[in-house]
Amino acid sequence: MYLLTGLFIMMATLGRAQEVSIKLGPNEIGENQAWTITVTVSNERLKKYDDFPDIEGFRKRGTSSSSSTQIINGQISSSQSITMTYAPTRQGTFTLRPFAMKVNGKTVRSQGTAIKVGPAVQRSQRRDPFHNLFDRDPFDAFSDRGETEFVDVKEDAFLALTTSKYEVYAGEGFTTTLSFYVADNNRAPLQFYELGKQLSNILKKVRPENCWEENFNIENINGEPVKINNKRYTQYKVYQGVFYPLNAEDITFPSVGLEMIKYKVAKNPSFFGQNRQEDFKTFYSRPRTVKVKELPPHPLKDQVAVGDYLLDERTSTEELQTGQSFSYEFNIYGEGNIAGVNKPVTDGGDNFDFYDPNVTQKINRRNNRVTGSKSFSYFGIPKEPGTYDLKDYFSWVFFNPKTAKYDTLQSSISVKVTGESKKNESIQSTDLGSFYDRIAFEDNTLGSSDSFEWTRILANILILGMLLTSAYIFMKK
């Protein structure tokens, strides 16, 4: 019988559609009164909801929840509400703009309203006997006898900023992680609060100015089980990135704070009443310093990349003809600052012409590491026949922090070039003509320009005489 009744109640509840509504507080309040926004879900449990809107002239005081169930004529209806309480900061008229909230995956909208905050209202000493049930003042949490009493439960959780290394070379990467840890036996209800806004301010303090950053861009925060000192925790990563020091200055991470919603729980919980009350607590990480060491002496100390790298190379063919082009790919891959890898030193000399390479870069950020590759694709033309080792034309020096030594990536490919020499053709292609050939044999002694001045004067006298003679003959005729 009880089983059939339970099934009937369940089917009746499921048969009613979920309804979501938003209720706004009054349009006029006193400066010492609270204003509220209440979201109510009918015929469904309140599982998830967006942040309540911010209101100019008000500050959020926290949320409270309530639920109710009714059975009328065999029909079951239930509702659950969450209420955000706002406290005015000054008198005036303030506007709550239209807003939308997603509740249990459903979007519900409100047209907003205007809220007038006037002078403080004198509280009446005589209370309505039904005040507790229908018109509770959120500021009077414990003023009435019989109201729920909430207690603060000690949390077993902490915020920590960790680094994968305590000491690195300049240019060597280390992973930095900011996580919130909650012990498996924690009894205090906790929830993230405006994480995006907080994280933006936290990263301004955490990011070192003298480092290159590779951000893991955490989008979804998922808990991962970990064990610390033989105690089980759930780790929630809120930020992770790899930093590469650009110089030998030590990296110092300051203490940062993360504000969390921490609920107080009812001392005597009930089935229908409010069993927890929203409050806030800020958790702080400990400061941390990573020591940065200078690279060992080397002629290219200020130019080389730092990391653990290998070479993958290929050429279009190892049998070449003079004057005919070929391609060669110098692919550097491994763990390190891939974005900072420079192209290898290339010198074709008299035997090859090499042109600037096409560059392809791939960076992978996973498993707390940054790996990838940077490929340099060259276009070359051989000019002289012979057999050549490409290591004589391509080399790339780097510092490996694992061995604390400098290393060089060199080609292991040899190519055979046949055909006639194209060196003379190259020389002829740069011939500028007979005019420039005579320059080397002409006298480059500087001469005076005074003789040209006397020549100009004599020419002018001669022209003037010719004009006078012509005028005389014309007049005589």
Q: Tell me which of 115, 147, 179 is where a domain ends.
A: 147
pLDDT band at 298 (very low <50, low <70, confident <90, very high): very high
Residue 468 lies inside a defined structural domain of this protein: no
Confidence band, pLDDT 50/70/90 cuts, at residue 31: confident
26: in domain: yes
How does residue 272 score in pLDDT terms, banded at 50, 70 and 90? low
Rounded mean pLDDT, 375-402: 93
Tens of pLDDT along 412-429? 999 999 988 876 665 444
For residues 141 and 32, the model is more confident at 32
The residue out of 293, 316, 340 marking a domain boundary is 293
Same domain, 34 and 96: yes
Q: Are residues 121 and 196 in the same domain?
A: no
Domain assignment of residue 462, yes or no: no
Does 476 map to a domain? Answer: no
Query: What tens digit of pLDDT does each residue of 109-121 get?
Result: 999 999 999 998 8
**314 and 409 within one domain:** yes
Q: Which range has the worst mean pLDDT, 53-57, 271-275, 380-384, 397-401? A: 271-275
Considering only 138-147, 216-225, 262-271, 372-381, which range has the smallest mean pLDDT?
A: 138-147
272 and 162, same structural domain?
yes
453 part of a folded domain: no
Q: pLDDT by residue (tens digit) across 326-340?
A: 999 999 999 999 988
Higher pLDDT, 7 or 412: 412
User: Number of folded domains in the chain?
Assistant: 3
Least confident of 51-60, 145-154, 295-304, 307-316: 145-154
- pLDDT for the residue 153: 82
User: Which residues, listed in sequence order, are joined to residue 175 by a DSSP beta bridge?
Assistant: 242
Q: Who wins on pLDDT, 149 or 391?
A: 391
Could you tell me if residue 27 is inside a domain? Answer: yes
Could you tell me if residue 445 is inside a domain? no
pLDDT at 382 over 50: yes
Q: Which domain holds residue 387?
A: 305-428
pLDDT at residue 105, as a whole number: 85
Task: Output the domain CATH number for residue 420.
Answer: 2.60.40
- Could you tell me if 8 and 143 lie in one domain? yes
Higher per-residue confidence, 453 vs 55: 55
Which of 121, 147, 173 marks a domain boundary? 147
**Averaged confidence pLDDT in the chain:** 81
Residue 48 has pLDDT above 90, yes or no: no
**Does residue 83 fall inside a structural domain?**
yes
Are residues 264 and 244 part of one domain? yes
The predicted pLDDT at position 337 comes to: 93
177 plus 141 within the same structural domain = no
Q: Give the chain as a 3 state SS string.
A: CHHHHHHHHHHHHHCCCCEEEEEECCCEEECCCCEEEEEEEECCCCCCECCCCCCCCEEEEEEEEEEEEEEECCEEEEEEEEEEEEEECCCEEEEECCEEEEECCEEEEECCEEEEEECCCCCCCCCCCCHHHHCCCCCCCCCCCCCCCEECCCCCEEEEEEECCCEEECCCCEEEEEEEEEECCCCCCEEECCHHHHHHHHHHHHCCCCEEEEECCCCCCCEEEEEECCEEEEEEEEEEEEEEECCCCCEEECCCEEEEEEEEEECCCCCCCCCEEEEEEEEECCCEEEEEECCCCCCCCCCCEEEEEEEEEEECCCEEECCCCEEEEEEEEEEECHHHCCCCEECCCCCEEECCCEEEEEEEEECCEEEEEEEEEEEEEECCCEEEEHHHCEEEEEEECCCCEEEEEECCCEEEEECCCCHHHHHHCCCCCHHHHHHCCCCCCCCCCHHHHHHHHHHHHHHHHHHHHHHHHHHHC
Claim to verify: residue 6 and residue 142 sit in the same structural domain: yes
Strand partners, 359: 376
Whether residue 391 is found in the same domain as residue 366: yes
pLDDT at 245: 95
Q: Comparing 263 with 283, which gets the higher pLDDT?
A: 283
pLDDT score of 424 = 63
Whether residue 113 sits in one domain with residue 55? yes
Give the range with max mean pLDDT: 2-11, 72-81, 170-179, 274-283: 170-179
Residue 271's pLDDT is: 54
- Residue 135's pLDDT is what? 38
Does the pLDDT value for residue 307 go beyond 90?
Answer: yes
Is residue 131 domain-shared with residue 31, that is, in the same domain?
A: yes
Let me know whether 164 and 143 are in one domain: no
